[in-house]
């Protein structure tokens, strides 16, 4: 076997090994985040997430995620303390991520509780921040 071919094969094998090692890295990170929340109530730190369940296997997972996001937004619109707030809702494999700014810690908590109450939500990552100088 030529030297060039061996070098090319080694490079391909290293790339394949790296890809295999990183497979599922995002899920592992989410599981790690679930157990690493702090006991404090810092408004800029993400709220602990619950451990995600196995990912949906159907080909309509994207449609399911879109339906979950729509349901969460509907719950926000129906909640007087959340109505009109600019909170972004993204869902991937049933894991809802909330982003935005609110005036009160209670609004951040209410947004998370409303998102968790939607059927199909496996976990909530609350990245909402409370504006400085607000209770």
What are the domain boundaries of the chain?
3-130
DSSP assigned state of 85: -
Domain spanning 3-130: CATH 3.30.1340.30: yes
Do 68 and 96 touch, CB atoms closer than 8 A? Answer: yes
Q: What is the pLDDT of residue 28?
A: 47
Q: Lowest mean pLDDT: which of 24-33, 61-70, 78-87, 108-117? A: 24-33
Give phi and psi for 109, each to the nearest 5: -65, -40
Give Cα separations from 106 to 24, 38, 56, 84, 111 (angstroms).
34, 18, 32, 15, 9
pLDDT tens digits for 30-50? 445 444 444 444 444 444 555
Q: What is the dihedral of CA 118, 120, 27, 66, to 10 degrees?
A: -80
Mean pLDDT of the chain: 75
The pTM for the full model equals 0.56
Q: What is the pLDDT of residue 67?
A: 95
Cβ neighbours of residue 16 under 8 Å, at least 6 residues apart? none
Residue with the two structure tokens 């909640």: 79
Confidence of residue 62 (pLDDT cuts 50, 70, 90): confident
Q: Say how far apart CA 1 and CA 133 lie, in whole Å.
A: 69
Q: Lowest mean pLDDT: which of 41-45, 83-87, 116-120? A: 41-45
């Amino acid at each position: 076997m030529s030297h060039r071919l061996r070098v090319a094969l080694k490079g391909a094998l290293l790339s394949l090994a790296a890809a295999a090692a990183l497979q599922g890295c995002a899920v592992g990170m989410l599981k790690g985040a679930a157990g690493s929340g702090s006991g404090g109530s810092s408004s800029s730190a993400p709220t602990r997430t619950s451990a995600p369940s196995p990912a949906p296997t159907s080909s309509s997972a994207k449609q399911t995620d879109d339906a979950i996001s729509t349901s969460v937004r509907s719950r926000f619109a129906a909640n007087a303390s959340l109505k009109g707030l600019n909170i972004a809702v993204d869902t991937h494999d049933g894991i809802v991520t909330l982003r935005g700014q609110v005036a009160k810690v209670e609004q951040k908590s209410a947004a998370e509780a409303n998102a968790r109450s939607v059927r199909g939500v496996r976990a909530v990552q609350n990245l909402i921040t409370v504006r400085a100088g607000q209770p």
